[in-house]
């Protein structure tokens, strides 16, 4: 990062957290709709405060800037998405490492399909990672993503499914890069830049299956194939 830092970890201010639940939720819902419809770059604080029925001065009592509000919305989305993936993570022994990856993506895409506005907002951090105000958030996303993959790798090693001599930092980094590359391939090559979370479950899972197959088998000739349910099998 450059010396310019937005210090998003300080958001939101206590004045926002102390608001009645109904008013706090209204502001969040309006902001989420704004980011989903216009994207981060074109989202307007003026429209947000007008649609939420609050004074612009009140906004700055709650958040330092638009980036702080966006991070808060992402945190809310993360908490909602966690409810989808938690059942899978609570029973990791029911799946091998590769099937677990597949299940995590499947339920994550199900969340986006059932919550399309959140799906649009969540994709903003990947689509616009080079925007100055989002770079710090994206780097935080990368760091947490790598650590998450490393935890899954350790579980796979403990179960005897993965090579215990792998470099966790390297492989965790590569898994995240493959995830991002798969998103970019889908949206830029397959879907030509369009974004519709309603289609993700049906259209994007085949890309995820290919990614997982690549992780497991590389490009060397294999006898393994995807069965009719899309699960890797002998």
d(CA 92, CA 114): 24
Backbone phi and psi for residue 226, each to the nearest 5 degrees, phi listed first: -85, 130
Is residue 72 classed exposed, middle or buried when 0-12, 13-18 and 19+ CB atoms within 10 A define those classes? buried
pLDDT score, position 6: 47
Is residue 212 classed exposed, middle or buried when 0-12, 13-18 and 19+ CB atoms within 10 A define those classes? buried
Residue of 83, 80, 73 whose CA lies nearest to 35: 73
Global confidence as pTM: 0.79
pLDDT score, position 190: 80
pLDDT score, position 2: 35
d(CA 97, CA 104): 11
10-233 topology per CATH: Tetracycline Repressor; domain 2 (1.10.357)
Question: From the first residue on, what is the mean pLDDT of each consecutive set of 10 residues in the chain (234 residues)?
Answer: 44 89 96 93 96 95 93 91 85 84 89 87 79 82 93 93 96 94 84 66 82 88 58 53
pLDDT score, position 3: 35
d(CA 1, CA 99): 35
CB proximity list for 166: less than 8 A, separation 6 or greater:
153, 157
pLDDT score, position 192: 64
């Amino acid at each position: 990062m450059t010396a310019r830092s937005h210090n998003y970890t300080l958001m939101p201010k206590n004045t926002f957290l102390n608001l009645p639940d109904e008013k706090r939720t209204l502001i969040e819902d309006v902001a989420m709709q704004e980011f989903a419809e216009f994207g981060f770059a074109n989202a307007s604080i003026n429209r947000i405060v007008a649609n939420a029925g609050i004074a612009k001065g009140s906004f700055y009592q709650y958040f330092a800037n638009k980036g702080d509000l966006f991070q808060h919305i992402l945190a809310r989305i993360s908490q909602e998405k966690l409810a989808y993936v938690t059942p899978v993570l609570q029973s990791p022994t029911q799946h091998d490492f590769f099937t677990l990856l597949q299940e995590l993506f499947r339920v994550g895409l199900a969340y986006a399909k059932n919550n399309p506005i959140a799906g649009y907002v969540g994709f903003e951090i990947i689509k616009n990672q080079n925007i100055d105000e989002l770079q710090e958030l994206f780097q935080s996303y990368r760091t947490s993503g790598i650590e998450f993959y490393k935890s899954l790798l350790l579980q796979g090693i403990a179960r005897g499914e993965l090579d215990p001599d792998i470099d966790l930092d390297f492989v965790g980094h590569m898994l995240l890069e493959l995830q991002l590359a798969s998103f970019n391939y889908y949206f830029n090559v397959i879907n030509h830049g369009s974004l519709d979370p309603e289609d993700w479950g049906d259209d994007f899972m085949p890309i995820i299956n290919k990614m997982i197959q690549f992780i497991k088998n590389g490009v060397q000739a294999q006898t393994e194939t995807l069965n009719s349910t899309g699960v890797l099998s002998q």
